[in-house]
Structure 1
């Protein structure tokens, strides 16, 4: 049964399965919940376009796919990671481009493996073995050891990621980047590592940020900016939407004044927008728009409802007037 499942799942994912084989395959899934779980996980990462880069010849990939699938049911603490490897290996057999690349670095001095997941051109979500979700922004990566979740839940970050951490009071979740650590038990937060700065934004729950000279607890809607060269830091209240909109791909604001919305648009688009009417500025609005939506499209959508017109004085200045 295991061998047959291995053959059929490869054919189904590559869309080279006959109707008779497809019927047989789904009959196997209906009779075995474990096979059904493994198929769904493989399909998820197949659709995410993952490539597997391993130190082996391309002609060996086919054999390793079968070996990985056969051994997957015996893996415990790194089972999900292993399933990712299976799917990624299969994908390399059929595709040549991807948005996410998986690298495997083996430490010859021990039995531990390090897995690095890197999002390239688009944000990619990854489900960790403890149930936590990590969304990597483009040009970012996380690295975890194969013993992740045994006693510790440590990840190393390069770039930016949004974490939704499963609660576990016995095993804190720790994000390490540029010599700093963000420690949580269960929460949602964003960490961005850029140039000499580490910026941590808390959405919900609480987190402990630590470095050589800084140990601060953050509450929801607070952000901490830390400079790893000067060791200077600043903690302040923030607009979570501005800093985490890249995760969902949208900005969503509800029940705020038009003036407040315009202030946020100024930050997002780096333009100066002047409202010439106080009554218009105090009008309550709601708005939802894509992170890459042109500013003119947003203003055009609002001007009909709010009865205003606007003039672009130059590349960086806009005036809004009531009709």
Structure 2
């Protein structure tokens, strides 16, 4: 048997066991060894795991059979290679793994250039996290990608971004990390930050550490909790203190607010849902609340969860404003 085919079948078998929860301790050790010796398989496993978990993370799914059905349906729709629905979870996972490996539809590809290979990491329907060769972690928002050269990490750590990404950069003073997007560059040594490029705007949000944003002759250093909004066409910019939680919640898929006044929390909801919220009672405004909710959760569900404890009612008027009143 061809060695490559054997490795793919072995990888497929082990991924099947791990994703279906059937892997033994020996299986896990063998799989860990494969990933250590083959970085490409590490990437494939991360993407398969993200694809497998996507429906669980972003939708309410009651049992694993539903996930199996969705994967099998996706395979049928994409290539038509699977004619018969599999009832076994393990078989379904194996089929999905082998489909991705053999047809090369993973969100990862290699291009040849004069300076060597150029690697592209991408996300489509859901955010995907990647670990780069230097240990830095990059979470790509949906419909986003980064590109880097095969010599990434040798002397420089440069990536090109299309879309939005959250970076947690491994510290290395001798090799600065640089993100290029839409004619701008963000340089860092080791930090956590978010970069979003859309139309003519580049928005950089700093969570921890320090970064330098540059474009042509423009240069600005950001401190934690600061955001810079730069217009590429006009070279105009705004730098301001921001709500980091608001701007990076897409990474975890959840908003978390603890120990803030209900009035301040209402302001957060206004920004998240683009709705005006009017509170008629000052005592209610000063009430301290904590809340955790999914990014895509309807605002009505959040208010319904709080109204019993805070003893208020609310109505949505004809102007789509939400008016909150004490009972």
Name the TM tier (shorter chain): 0.7 to 0.9
Going from structure 1 to structure 2, the CA distance change for 1:7 and 1:294 (only over 3 Å counts) comes to closer
Structure 1 contact 213–231 (Cα < 8 Å) conserved? no
SS of 2:317's equivalent?
strand
Task: Give structure 1 regions of 4+ aligned residues with deviation exceeding 6 angstroms.
Answer: none
Secondary structure of 2:134's aligned partner: coil
Determine the C-alpha separation between the residues in 2 that align with 1:7 and 1:105.
Answer: 22
- Quote the residue 1:44 is aligned against: 46
* Distance in 1 between residues matched to 2:243 and 2:117, nearest whole Å: 38
Output the TM-score relative to the length of structure 1. 0.77
Distance 1:244 1:237 in 2: 14
CA distance, structure 2, for counterparts of residue 46 and residue 33 of structure 1: 16
Q: Distance in 2 between matches of 1:95 and 1:6?
A: 16
Residue of structure 1 aligned with 2:192, choices 184, 188, 204: 188
- Normalized against structure 2, the TM-score is what? 0.76
Shift of 1:49: 4.2
- 1:278 shift after superposition: 0.2
**CA distance in structure 2 between the aligned counterparts of 1:27 and 1:268, rounded to whole angstroms:** 44
Tell me the equivalent position of 1:61. Answer: none
Equivalent in 92, 96, 100 of residue 100 of structure 2: 92
Provide the residue aligned with 1:254 in structure 2: 258
Partner of 2:209: 205
Matched, 1:228 2:232: yes
Corresponding residue for residue 103 of structure 1? 109
Tell me the distance in 2 between the aligned counterparts of 1:279 and 1:27: 59
Q: For 1:111-126, what aligned pairs fall within 5 Å after superposition?
A: 112-126=116-130
Give SS of 2:107's match.
strand
SS at match of 1:147: coil
Deviation at 1:214, TM superposition (A): 1.5
Contact in 2 for aligned 1:46/1:91 (Cα 8 Å): no
CA distance in 2, matches of 1:316, 1:105: 49
Aligned equivalent of 2:65: none
8 Å Cα contact 1:257-1:285 kept in structure 2: yes
> 1:121-200, aligned counterparts within 5 Å?
121-200=125-204
CA contact (8 A) 1:130 1:149 kept: yes
Q: Secondary structure in 1 aligned to 2:303?
A: helix
For residues 27 and 231 of structure 1, do their structure 2 counterparts lie closer, same or farther at Cα, with a shift above 3 Å needed? closer
Does 2:320 align with 1:316?
yes
Residue 47 of structure 1, CA deviation: 2.4
Query: Which SS does the other structure have where 1:314 is aligned?
Result: coil
User: What are the superposed Cα offsets for residues 80-117 of structure 1, whole Å, 9 maximum, x if unpaired?
Assistant: xxxxxxxx995534679x7x61122111x34x110111
**Contact 1:13-1:46 within 8 A present in 2 as well:** no
Which sections of structure 2, spanning at least 5 residues, go unmatched? 18-22, 53-78, 80-95
Query: CA deviation digits over 1:198-217, x for unaligned, max 9?
Result: 00000010101011132111
> Which shows bigger deviation, 211-220 or 141-150?
211-220
CA distance in 1: counterparts of 2:206 and 2:192, whole angstroms: 7
SS state at 2:270 partner:
helix
Q: CA deviation at 1:26?
A: 3.5
2:83 aligns with: none
The answer for the alignment partner of 1:295 in structure 2 is 299
